[in-house]
Amino acid sequence: MQLLDGKIVSQAVKNELREKTDQLKADNKRLPHLAAILIGNDGASETYVASKIKNCEEAGFKSSMYRFNTDTNEDTIIAKIEELNNDDEVDGILVQLPLPKHISEEKIINIIDPLKDVDGFHPISVGKLVQGLPTFIPATPYGVMLMLEHYKIETAGKFAVVIGRSNIVGRPMSILLSQNTNPGNCTVTLCHSRTTNLKEICLQADIIVAALGKVSFLTADMVKENAVVIDVGITRVEDATKKSGFKIKGDVDFENVAPKCSYITPVPGGVGLMTIAALLKNTYHAYIQKNNS
Ligand code: NAD
């Protein structure tokens, strides 16, 4: 069994971007700039945004963070996004999800300029993704693809099962794995909460991507020998021995599944780190696209 190490791969991505930004600095050019909007004070969201900002610094990017109280009205957020859309010095806009209930996720995603949609959630980005056109790919499935590429995992002709059909992870993941690309060219089955024979489907899979948000859901009896298992799940579980009071658990029963796998991602230290690396790559693409237009 080989571990797919998000730390190593994400660092490689950041080093590559750092070389590019060092060159931009040396040439006295403007640096890629990511603007992040955080509404409310959800602990996990705070951690994610702080980590994205920190990683921007490591890659030599500029970043800005705009914080709003939970009860901020939708129009205020929309006005901020429009301001950032019109700001020539901003390349990528990220609105950290989930949003407070009174703010429409759909409305907010749709208002972001598709040329700055580094999360890849805008319908234009999704439409292009489905058609296999160049676009911003949602960061988590993009990060998984970068990881498969880094470890040169053979995917062509393999049977891949994705568990979870969300717009941000499962569905785009299934599309990417099915595309005529490398990695890609898998035969893909997308499973969800209404799938009736999940265990039998998983047992046939050469590659399983678990993205449902249920701790240790994928157990050893659902995985065939030598499968590649990608664990996207991130759930905070109470742990009094930790300073924070919780630990992070994935969707895979790692201890028992790992011995059966050819490759497996750990949680933490796997896909989560790759998500941020992919976001940085999208931001750099947005910057290049802007400067070439
Ligand atoms: P979501 O709640 O939007 O979607 C969960 C999906 O799982 C749904 O499509 C549902 O149909 C499916 N599902 C639920 N129960 C199931 C069951 N018993 N059998 C089969 N399918 C079932 O979640 P999401 O936003 O896609 O996130 C999934 C997980 O990935 C969460 O733990 C989330 O925290 C994590 N996540 C991690 C990263 C990362 O960077 N690693 C990024 C985004 C999300």
Helix count and strand count (H, E) for the chain: 10, 11
Mean pLDDT calculated for residue range 239-243: 95
At which residue do the structure tokens 């890659």 appear? 59
Residue 3 is encoded by which pair of tokens?
């571990």
For residue 277, pLDDT over 80 is answered with: yes
For residue 293, pLDDT over 90 is answered with: no
Please tell me if the CB atom of residue 6 comes closer than 6 angstroms to any atom of ligand 1. Answer: no
**pTM score:** 0.97
Please tell me if the CB atom of residue 271 comes closer than 6 angstroms to any atom of ligand 1. Answer: yes
Which atom of ligand 1 is least distant from the CA of 250?
Answer: 32
pLDDT tens sequence across 118-153: 999 999 999 999 999 999 999 999 999 999 999 999
Domain ranges of the chain: 31-115, 139-272
pLDDT tens sequence across 54-98: 999 999 999 999 999 999 999 999 999 999 999 999 999 999 999
User: What superfamily in CATH does domain 31-115 come from?
Assistant: Leucine Dehydrogenase, chain A, domain 1 (3.40.50.10860)
CB distance 9 to 276 below 8 Å: no
Asked if the domains 31-115 and 139-272 are classified in one and the same CATH topology, the answer is yes
User: What superfamily in CATH does domain 139-272 come from?
Assistant: NAD(P)-binding Rossmann-like Domain (3.40.50.720)
Residues annotated as part of the active site: 52, 96, 119
Residue nearest ligand 1's atom 5 by CA? 212
168 Cα to the center of ligand 1, angstroms: 9
Please tell me if the CB atom of residue 51 comes closer than 6 angstroms to any atom of ligand 1. Answer: no
How far from 200 is each of 40, 51, 263, CA to CA, in Å?
42, 38, 20
pLDDT band at 219 (very low <50, low <70, confident <90, very high): very high
Mean pLDDT calculated for residue range 149-176: 98
At 291 the pLDDT is 84
Mean pLDDT calculated for residue range 26-49: 96
Please tell me if the CB atom of residue 272 comes closer than 6 angstroms to any atom of ligand 1. Answer: yes
Residue nearest ligand 1's atom 22 by CA? 193
Residue nearest ligand 1's atom 35 by CA? 233
How far apart CA 33 and CA 121 sit, in angstroms, is: 19
For residue 4, pLDDT over 80 is answered with: yes
Give which of 143, 149, 231, 158 is closest to 182, Cα–Cα: 149
Please tell me if the CB atom of residue 235 comes closer than 6 angstroms to any atom of ligand 1. Answer: yes
Q: What percent of the chain has pLDDT over 70?
A: 100
